[in-house]
Structure 1
């Protein structure tokens, strides 16, 4: 349960960040941004990219992928929100 709470934190920020996904489409800039991410944030970015298709709910995609990575032990639940926000900063460039 504590893991899920960590993922839920920062949800409002993800909504605002990912709301602009279709308007800002610069995949090269997004990849340059992602190259600078810490490993846990990069894992969220990599897991989320293929699912961010036109019409997708960016917040739901990032939240679901973050939750999956936390529950599988691939990212620390205490850093999940921070990592998701960092990944979202790059994802909004796509």
Structure 2
């Protein structure tokens, strides 16, 4: 459903820190969403050639998002589970 090339996508939970995001991504990324202070969104960050090419703020809307035990998503393995609470 994307219109851009990507190799990896990472999903970050509410209250994720800037340092934790950069550590997981392995690149510098100035989080414009301020997710470290928020509990109303998840942050989905796409990388291509080790560069951030897109990010999306996903409204929680009473649900939790997970990619299971995976470290990141790839175009061939991009399943996200949504659980209502």
TM-score norm. by structure 1 comes to 0.29
More helix by share: 1
Higher relative contact order (CA 8 A, sep 6+): 1
More strand by share: 2
TM-score norm. by structure 2 comes to 0.31
